Amino acid sequence: MIDRAVPAPTPAQTAHPAEDSAPARPDPASVTTDVDLASLAASLRSWGRALGFDEIRIADVDLRHAEAGLLAWLQAGYHGDMDYMANHGAKRARPHELVPGTVRAIVARMPYLPAQGPGDWRRHELARLDDPSTAVISLYARGRDYHKVLRNRLQQLAARIETAIGPFGYRVFTDSAPVMEVALASQGGLGWRGKHTLLLDRDGGSMFFLGEILIDIPLPADPTEAPHCGNCRRCIDICPTGAILEPFRLDARRCISYLTIEHKGAIPEPLRAPMGNRVYGCDDCQLACPWNKFAHRATLPDFDVRNGFDAPDMADLFGWTEAEFNQRLEGSPIRRIGHERWLRNLAVGLGNSLRVASTSDPALAQRIRTALLARRDTATPLVREHIDWALAQDTAG
């Protein structure tokens, strides 16, 4: 969910434009001559809900107001290793250049908060951060890869429109091309950009994925929604690494989601201890947000928890071979980072847990030492560096 990291006008994945749908684009005039655009807009909302989207809106694609913020963010280097964020420059704010002929975007959101779970899920998730035996994996990544789920559903929505009006020009995206998803979604009234840079909605919080269909049909655009963060700064104050520098300004290089997913090298040592037991992504800013008491549960089984990822044993995960990693995580977004980064992240988490357990839980501390030492001699240099750091956290000597 890359756009979660982008500042005001930015779980974060590499672009996969080859996977997007890009059919031939017909003459727009031939599409809209006999179409009741307002009726079509109303119908596609209904079709979208039937496909698992909880909200569908229509956005104008003029994002010129977002260009300055994007370019300043890139100039400051806040995108870190995510070179693809800079590859297209201001084109990210110009959907009509990405897909010529585009005049509107159908913006959609799909909730991912697992259907099964405690009622006070935010309190439950925050409590898990204090359990040194378990690894914390971002809620969005506990089920199937959202790229595939949303892209398939958006494609079905486009096909339903085509059935109703005939061929039209469109292209489907979900975190898979140089598109400013949050800017488009907020422009279409799906919510407003919160101070943590995520999209927020009064009726749905922020626990949802975003997807778009760029179209050449001049559907009536929806109005924007006014922001409702007020003076609240809970998302800023809770960030473990201080990645949210100020409202709407996020330094991805300090963000745990970036460090555990996008960053390919060694995790900077000063940021390892603040990571705690977060081994893939970070939900802290969303857990602190008051609007997430209204977060919707997922309606699709795709986002049900797999692999026991609601409370996985960290030492057990560290013992997975590469073959086990690939087999167990088939269809999971986590598989994208590869086994080496997975072990790197877990080594940091184990080190932080060892620091706690060595003075409070001798049995757990010994399990962690054993797990780390068992892999050290065969580890890659990157992983070994983090294992050695983890073993050095042992305060029992």
Task: Please report, in range form, the residues annotated as the binding site for tRNA.
Answer: 264
Do 40 and 161 contact (CB within 8 A), yes or no? yes
As a whole number of angstroms, the distance between CA 1 and CA 247 comes to 19
Single-letter amino acid, residue 59: A
Q: Which of 138, 352, 156 is nearest to 260 (CA)?
A: 138
Do 292 and 348 contact (CB within 8 A), yes or no? no
Cβ contacts of residue 103 below 8 Å, gap of 6+? 28, 61, 96, 215, 216, 217, 218
Give the residue ranges of the annotated binding site for cob(II)alamin.
92, 175, 199, 210, 257, 282-283
Q: Two tokens at 65? A: 């107001």
106: left (phi > 0), else alpha (psi -120 to 50), else beta? beta
Give the residue ranges of the annotated binding site for [4Fe-4S] cluster.
229, 232, 235, 239, 255, 282, 285, 289
Handedness of CA 184, 59, 14, 310 (dihedral sign): positive
As a whole number of angstroms, the distance between CA 279 and CA 203 comes to 30
Give the residue ranges of the annotated binding site.
92, 175, 199, 210, 229, 232, 235, 239, 255, 257, 264, 282-283, 285, 289
Single-letter amino acid, residue 37: L
Question: What number of other Cβ atoms are within 10 A of residue 203's Cβ?
Answer: 11
Do 143 and 306 contact (CB within 8 A), yes or no? yes
Catalytically active residues, by annotation: 175
